[in-house]
Structure 1
Amino acid sequence: MSESVTFLRAMLRKGSSVLGASPADEAPNPDSVPDWRYREDSADSMLMRAIRYSALGPIFYRVAAFPKVYIGFAVSNGSAGIVPVLGTTIFAVLLNVFAVWWVVRGRGIRAKTSGRLMYVDLAVGVVLTTLVAVAAPTEVQPYAVDVAWTWIVGTVALWTMSFGLPAALVLLIAAFPFRAFLTWIGGLPLDHPLAVSRSVGCMVALVVAIVTTAGILILLGVGTRFALGIGMRRGQRAERLRTQRVLHDSVLQTLEAMGLEAPDDESATAQRLAEMRATARAQAVELRRELAGPDAPSARGLAADLAEVATEMARDGLRTQLVAAETEEDYRLSHARRTAIRDAVREALRNTVKHAGTKQVVLRVEESDGGIAVIARDQGTGFSMLDRPPGFGISQSIMARLAEVGGRGTIDSHPGRGTRVTLWVPH
């Protein structure tokens, strides 16, 4: 049997609590999850919220169904029994509106307490229907019970969602003698045609609630597994690309510099060695920052970041003329976009150092097309894009990095006419 079928069977057997044990890095093991008693500190917080929100369906059903059923009762029976039925409807709607607010805005509760609330919900439904069955006039009692029975339908749906099909089927079986008890305390014979027809209708409503909620459970389980699978694949790909970029933009650059042919002049060799040591120290700092995690957001603007990059490139002998003015829009760039364009500029300038055959570049920052553009222009040897297809540095360290934050990059170069690199990100 496939893993997906096993997971769905576990969802139907144990309810949405199976999702709470879905780890972030592998498929969940549904058979290891006891009903609503998993360790909350080991469950993913987003999955925990999904479990809590799954209760909204039955609660919203009550909020909408109670007024609808009451209107049908009032139209058919006039003022007979209106006091207990109207009171029950108002109480049920208000209580379920509060439940919606609590589920959406609340901080959540422990799993054991959630299970207890399911029993409290069942008790409220039993009390409401019993009070209506006793208080309603005998001639309209089956119709009055239909209104209060709306709560029981929601309860069965909640139990299906929370505990699974077995628990819901237990409630369905118990509902038969309970519905007969309501008929009896209302003063009607159990074989009264009206009582029988309304009782059958109540049982059918419970079956529909169980089948519908089971379908929702299946959709919830399938959707969650697809979302987890897509998220894990995209996360793994993003982490792999990030590692490749770190290695390409730091370690590989240093190794390539070390592999360059040493000059014949002894003083030039000493200068090259000093430059390599400085580069290695800078790369060590950058690697340490990457290992420590993402940069903390700062209040400084993009121009300050680019000035820092220009200082780094000066160690490699590249003189950068930065033409930029801090603007209000510059500070509105998100941290992710500012970091992406900063690192893309760094890679573009490294390409200038390695391939352009010049030690000068002009770096200009300007507003363009509702975003910020950084243009790097050199008067180096240039190259033909047809003869030199984009390597990892252009395709991933520049283009892909910008695309991830909604930006783009273009390169315009011709042999003997220099290179122009335009990097853009939206505000």
Structure 2
Amino acid sequence: MLRKGSSVLGASPADEAPDPDSVPDWRYREDAGDSLLMRAIRYSALGPIFYRVAAFPKVYLGFLVANGSAGIVPVLSTTILAVLLNVIAVWWVVRGRGIRAKTSGLLMYADLAVGVVLTTIVAVAAPTEIQPFAIDVAWTWMVGTVALWTLSFGLPAAFLLLIAALPFRAFLTWIGGLPIDHPLAVSRSVGCMIALVVAMVTTAGILILLGVGTRFALGIGMRRGQRAERLRTQRVMHDSVLQTLEAMGLEAPDDDSAAAERLAEMRATARAQAVELRRELTGPDAPSTRGLAADLAEVATEMARDGLRTQLVAAETEEDYRLSHARRTAIRDAVREALRNTVKHAGTKQVVLRVEEREGGIAVIARDQGTGFSMLDRPPGFGISQSIMARLTEVGGRGTIDSHPGRGTRVTLWVPH
């Protein structure tokens, strides 16, 4: 990053997941796609721009105190124009549509050209006796330019710009009518060059911090992504393959007398499970326009094949359709897991499933009158902790289980709108 600037992050793999923040990157490589990393650092350009917005009025006030009204017209005009241009730049970086890398390079040269023009005009227009102080005000733009170049192109490009600034500063002194070796001009020129060096070194430090932070963020993101993928795979295996295998292994009273029918059922179950597993492996469901009640009715139909009679108490409401696809899918799959637990452990073939609005979200309550269990004697397994609780937590929801021996079980699942 010190050699090439923040643009090297554009070489990172583009994330295929949609970003909730729809504001495009201020600067990204054409061959890197819409990289989330590049969009994450787009605001780094705001540092030098904000510096100009704050520094121009400060430097102008210092000039005004030291020199009074002498040369006030060109200096004040330059200050107002510079602040206005940088305020527009702030708005554009934050709210703009984004640009390609080649265009951003041209903008860096355009920014440099604006600085050259402003400082030259001030050097020519300001009275000779206060010309070095007037150039100091306009030079604020060049300080921001060096910082922008360091961020965008790296230290080598910024160093070349710093070398070129030395004869340019001498040219400004000469074009303003002062000898190049004039003591005041020399002292102010040294101050201007020191300001450029400070801007370059400070921005290099920001690049180092940005690079280290990006490395840590990538490491943490990769570890969390790997863990999330492992959990997703485990959920798929637990909620589909494992459940089907356990169902196939259950004995039925008519296994011997209706062997052909049982074999046909097992084959049909295996085919249905193969379709379900293939769907899970190919990725998430495409968003649908139907509501949660329709999804739960489909789950109830699935459970009916296992002998569970589900009484669904729900009505399609406007609030129901406000659930995002991710939250609707999460609560649907959590309900499926809760009903499967009813089939396996509750000792009953009936359950009531009720949907209601609650606390700014949608709650689904599954209630059975089965055997129940003690929450203290039976710690939650993978199905409860991951397929229900963790799944809802990931989308901002929660789940609670209330059960007592002989009094049935009530599972409450909730997700926000």
User: What is the TM-score with the length of structure 2 in the denominator?
Assistant: 0.90
In angstroms, what is the RMSD of aligned CA positions?
4.3
Deviation at 1:421, TM superposition (A): 1.6
Instruction: Give the 3-state SS of the residue equivalent to 2:312 in structure 1.
Output: strand
Give a deviation string over 1:1-57, Cα, whole Å, max 9, x none. Answer: xxxxxxxxxx11221111111225899999999999995233552233345432222
What is the rounded CA distance, in whole Å, between the counterparts of 2:284 and 2:16 in structure 1?
Answer: 24
Deviation at 1:149, TM superposition (A): 0.5
Instruction: Identify which of 46, 63, 68 aligns with 1:56.
Output: 46
Contact residue 52 and residue 108 of structure 1 kept, 8 A = no
Distance 1:167 1:27, change over 3 A: farther
Contact residue 25 and residue 98 of structure 2 kept, 8 A = no
Q: Bigger shift: 267-276 or 244-253?
A: 267-276
Contact residue 27 and residue 42 of structure 2 kept, 8 A = no
Contact residue 15 and residue 35 of structure 1 kept, 8 A = no
Task: Kindly indicate whether residue 306 of structure 2 is the aligned counterpart of residue 311 of structure 1.
Answer: no
Deviation at 1:268, TM superposition (A): 4.2
What is the rounded CA distance, in whole Å, between the counterparts of 2:309 and 2:261 in structure 1?
Answer: 17
Give a deviation string over 1:214-241, Cα, whole Å, max 9, x none. Answer: 1221222222222222222222222221
Contact residue 138 and residue 187 of structure 1 kept, 8 A = yes
Give a deviation string over 1:85-109, Cα, whole Å, max 9, x none. Answer: 2222233223323333333333333
What is the rounded CA distance, in whole Å, between the counterparts of 1:255 and 1:415 in structure 2?
Answer: 28
Distance 1:182 1:39, change over 3 A: closer
What is the rounded CA distance, in whole Å, between the counterparts of 2:274 and 2:323 in structure 1?
Answer: 28
Distance 1:303 1:97, change over 3 A: same
Deviation at 1:344, TM superposition (A): 0.5
Distance 1:406 1:109, change over 3 A: closer
Contact residue 122 and residue 134 of structure 2 kept, 8 A = yes
Contact residue 19 and residue 28 of structure 1 kept, 8 A = no
What is the rounded CA distance, in whole Å, between the counterparts of 2:18 and 2:386 in structure 1?
Answer: 33
Deviation at 1:304, TM superposition (A): 1.7
Contact residue 43 and residue 93 of structure 2 kept, 8 A = yes
Task: Kindly indicate whether residue 367 of structure 2 is the aligned counterpart of residue 377 of structure 1.
Answer: yes
What is the rounded CA distance, in whole Å, between the counterparts of 1:302 and 1:259 in structure 2?
Answer: 32
Instruction: Give the 3-state SS of the residue equivalent to 1:317 in structure 2.
Output: coil
Deviation at 1:118, TM superposition (A): 2.0
The share of aligned pairs that are identical, in percent, is: 92
Instruction: Give the 3-state SS of the residue equivalent to 1:306 in structure 2.
Output: helix
Q: Residue 312 of structure 2 corresponds to which residue in structure 1?
A: 322
Give a deviation string over 1:109-163, Cα, whole Å, max 9, x none. Answer: 3323322332232222222212211221111101110111011111111111112
What is the rounded CA distance, in whole Å, between the counterparts of 1:77 and 1:327 in structure 2?
Answer: 72
Question: Unmatched 5+ residue regions in structure 2?
Answer: none
Distance 1:150 1:190, change over 3 A: same
Give a deviation string over 1:356-407, Cα, whole Å, max 9, x none. Answer: 2221111122233333222212222223333332221111111111111122
Question: Unmatched 5+ residue regions in structure 1?
Answer: 1-10
Distance 1:44 1:221, change over 3 A: farther
Instruction: Identify which of 233, 245, 261 aligns with 2:235.
Output: 245
Contact residue 327 and residue 415 of structure 2 kept, 8 A = yes
Contact residue 35 and residue 163 of structure 1 kept, 8 A = no
Instruction: Identify which of 201, 211, 229 aligns with 2:219.
Output: 229
What is the rounded CA distance, in whole Å, between the counterparts of 1:275 and 1:260 in structure 2?
Answer: 13
Instruction: Identify which of 377, 398, 405 aligns with 2:395.
Output: 405
Deviation at 1:335, TM superposition (A): 2.0
Distance 1:366 1:110, change over 3 A: closer
Instruction: Give the 3-state SS of the residue equivalent to 1:424 in structure 2.
Output: strand
Deviation at 1:251, TM superposition (A): 1.1
Instruction: Give the 3-state SS of the residue equivalent to 1:375 in structure 2.
Output: strand
Deviation at 1:261, TM superposition (A): 3.6
Contact residue 38 and residue 111 of structure 1 kept, 8 A = yes
Deviation at 1:317, TM superposition (A): 0.9
Contact residue 180 and residue 190 of structure 1 kept, 8 A = yes
